[in-house]
Chains A and B, each alone.
Chain A
Amino acid sequence: MREPAAGYSEEFEVNMGPQHPSTHGVLRLLLRMDGEIIKNAEPHVGYLHRAIEKICENRTYPQCIPLLDRFEYVTSMSTEEVFCLAAERIAAIEVPERAEYLRIIMLELDRIASHLIFLGTFSLDLGAITPFLYCIRERETIMDLFEMTCGQRLTYNYIRVGGVSQDIPEQFLPLARKFVDTFQHRVDDYEALLTENPIFLARTKNVGIVNKQVCLDYGASGPVLRAAGVEWDLRRDDPYSIYDRFKFEIPTGTVGDVWDRYMVRVRELRQSNEIVRQALDQLPTGDIKAKMKPLFKPPVGEVYARIENSRGEMGCHIISDGSTKPYRLKLRGGSFCHTQLIPEVAPGIMIADLVAMFASLDVILPEVDR
């Protein structure tokens, strides 16, 4: 807690408005300031509320998938996966082996792409422009891999109920192996630029501490929870798909400051790389989609499926009434709970620290607004 300087001072309100380079989307923060110290920060959301849940009540299950891509566009594969997982659980469909392996490869590559965007924009907020260009260079290779498989760079529409939509072409495997072999050295490059840098350490160590109790109270998940010291990863603790066949570690932090959240994500980059390598080695041949009727009509049921996204827990609550359209579809993203942390942590810190802390939470506004 910093104390304001002695003398006469007056509080004033600053609007860190919907258009701001470091709010990562359209978030409005109403800050009540005393000099440079924040007394209160109130997030106003809803600038990107597109009513996706209402739209999906009037779409068939395959028609919902492209809409859900737009819900979380940086990691579209994980939104498709959670929706298809929920629909498959209601209808008790078993996904073939090859499709499961392809899904894992795509999900982990997606996680790497999302963490690269985080690294780039996080360092851009702190004033370092070079890591952004390096990270986007790696991400372009991943975009090439996705484009040769499903035709799209950003919103894929690839994972379908019962499997995946297309098989990988022959150029995929050599390019993927080349990426996996060189990626470890690239992560070393990023760490060489940032991790021991004294300016970076001064701006991130012991800044924006979110401790374990606050995280658990607000339902924080993913890297934010792991940086606070809680070893909770849904790939291991609430298993889905075939993650039990791969060996990977779960990095955790100690204090829960900005540096811990950064380090957890950098180490996750390496772990995801390992999972992709193991999946490429174990990839079997076979079908890519389960045998299903052309019109997908699940029985009456209700389920809440959750997976480990790069931002935390992504959940999908589907209620099916036996018709081709879901009766109710509710989505939950990690960023929804993380944005609630801002009024808890902001009082007493300076505005530059708020920028660093908010960037380290890695919030994507469509997850909050839907």
Chain B
Amino acid sequence: MADSGTIIRLLVEKFPSQVEAIELNPKQTAVQIDPRIVVAFFEFIKTHPDLKMAYLSSISGVDMTTNIDIVYFLSSIEYKHKLTVRTKVNRKGGKIDTISTVIKGANWFEREIWELFGVEFLGHPNLTQFLLPDDWDEGPPMLRDWTGRNFVKMPEIGG
């Protein structure tokens, strides 16, 4: 099992200017990567004999008001270590390559982020309506400044 320092060292050696380690609270193994290398990155950590991280737990989209962050969580069944990978795309019209060719389970996670945040995944086999009604025309609803026709915000209690 590789520890946190070894994992980050291996990744930074392979992609020198496009991967950097980041500090998060609480302490966890986390890197920030350039969105253009996303497919090559996941290929590398899936096949490298010391990493073997092929088990995808989740992909989240986060609206950080200046851009949209996409956060991937991976772990390894053989070595039991974990990794958090962050990358940024544009808020309006953001595009990133899909990783569903490398890890099949990413399919529905990416479809959900496309629908709720408006990020396009290039090469995805099936970007169609997923969770929202078929006639939805009010834009990606998970953005922080979104309002819609029947959206009632909870009033602040206590003044």
**Which chain B residues border A218 with CB–CB below 8 Å?**
104-105
The answer to whether A332 has its CB under 8 Å from any CB of chain B is yes
In the complex, how many angstroms separate the beta carbon of B89 from the nearest chain A beta carbon? Answer: 16
**Which chain A residues border B105 with CB–CB below 8 Å?**
217-219, 337, 340
The answer to whether A34 has its CB under 8 Å from any CB of chain B is no
Residues 203-222 of A, flagged 1 when their CB comes within 8 A of B and 0 if not, give 00000000000001111000
The answer to whether A64 has its CB under 8 Å from any CB of chain B is no
With contacts A53-B142, A336-B108 taken as known, whether A216 is within 8 angstroms of B25 at the C-beta atoms is no
**Which chain B residues border A243 with CB–CB below 8 Å?**
none
Q: Which residue of chain B has its CB nearest to the CB of A340?
A: B108
CA distance A330 to B60 in the complex (A): 7
CA distance A53 to B115 in the complex (A): 14
**Which chain A residues border B107 with CB–CB below 8 Å?**
340
Contacting residues of chain B (98-156) with chain A, CB-CB under 8 angstroms: 103-105, 107-108, 129-133, 141-142, 144, 153-154
> B25 touching A299 by the CB < 8 A rule?
yes
Contact of A315 among B57, B133, B154 (CB under 8 A): B57
Scoring B26, B103, B133, B144 by chain A CB atoms within 10 A of each residue's CB, the highest score goes to B26
**Which chain B residues border A304 with CB–CB below 8 Å?**
28, 57-58, 73, 84
In the complex, how many angstroms separate the beta carbon of A84 from the nearest chain B beta carbon? Answer: 14
> A313 touching B57 by the CB < 8 A rule?
yes
Q: Which residue of chain A has its CB nearest to the CB of B109?
A: A336
Contact of B80 among A217, A230, A238 (CB under 8 A): A238
CA distance A218 to B108 in the complex (A): 10
> B131 touching A89 by the CB < 8 A rule?
no
The answer to whether B44 has its CB under 8 Å from any CB of chain A is no
Q: Of the 9-residue stretches A2-10, A43-51, A122-130, A139-147, which lies at the interface with chain B?
A: A43-51
14 pairs across A/B with beta carbons < 8 Å? A51-B141, A58-B153, A216-B54, A219-B56, A219-B57, A230-B77, A299-B25, A301-B24, A313-B57, A317-B60, A317-B71, A336-B108, A337-B105, A340-B107
Name B residues whose Cβ lies closer than 8 Å to a Cβ of A.
Answer: 24-26, 28, 54-58, 60, 62-63, 71, 73, 75, 77, 80, 82, 84, 103-105, 107-108, 129-133, 141-142, 144, 153-154
